[in-house]
Structure 1
Amino acid sequence: MLIYKIFRADEWAHLQAEGETAGAPIDLADGYIHFSTAETVRETAEKYFAGVDGLMLIAVEADNLAPLKWEPAREGVLFPHLYRKMTIADVVWSEALPLTDGKHQFPGLA
């Protein structure tokens, strides 16, 4: 199952350059890397990245991540949290999240 991480351009550039990342500021503060599912990633974009341009959507295979824990978050919905650094090798694909009329477009998701 693919899970998704939204990165700002500088965070994505850091992962590409360094080969690993401890995540975005919220990830560093919480002690794990936040991911979303296909069902929750659009809401994540609206809630945490509204109007932000230059974002990247990163897809990762959940079955290849350990230690990955599914924990309740918004309204008790389970979200995947990675308790280690994310590596460039974890990335299955990446796509830009263009901003059109104030809303992010998700070309990599149906």
Structure 2
Amino acid sequence: MASDVPTLAYKVLTADQMTALEAEGSFAGAPVDVADGYVHLSTADQLTETVDKHFAGQSDLHVAAVDLDALGDAVKWEESRGGALFPHLYAALPLDAVVAYGPLERGDDGKVRLPVAG
């Protein structure tokens, strides 16, 4: 892939899914991930639209920043919404590839704030 490919992607999780990831050390995916055969991730630029489209009206959500380099060949960039390339993880998401996470918050502009490693 080109050098302008992001090295971080983001996974939106419910509170229960975040708790499971922390407790079990990996996350096999939400029901939609399991059905599609991969864990859906979004780039920073795609994250707010993903939340607005797929998590509208839900509360107590969390965002995990994922180091794509740590996942190696399990990540495939594939066309999705509007022909845009999205990172899809063809494996369980390991906690050790999560570099930051926290509750989903929005800035004054309405965009989802990215979790920052502490």
Verify same fold: TM over 0.5. yes
Aligned counterparts of 1:54 and 1:104: Cα–Cα separation in 2:
16
How far 1:108 sits from its partner (Å)?
3.0
* Aligned residues between the structures: 107
Percent of pairs with identical residues: 44
Q: Which structure has greater strand proportion?
A: 1
Gaps of 5+ in 2: 1-6
Matched, 1:15 2:21: yes
Query: Unpaired segments of 5 or more residues in structure 1?
Result: none
Aligned-partner residue type, residue 25 of structure 2: G
TM-score (norm 1): 0.89
Moved over 3 A (4+): none
Is residue 3 of structure 1 aligned with residue 9 of structure 2?
Answer: yes
TM-score by length of 2: 0.83
Structure 1 segment 67-82 matched on structure 2, within 5 A: 67-82=74-89
Residue 38 of structure 1 corresponds to 44
Q: Is the 8 A contact 1:54 1:96 kept in 2?
A: yes
Q: Which one of the candidate residues 29, 48, 53 is aligned to 1:47?
A: 53
Aligned partners of 2:86 and 2:59: how far apart in 1?
24
Q: Superposition RMSD on alpha carbons, in Å?
A: 1.8
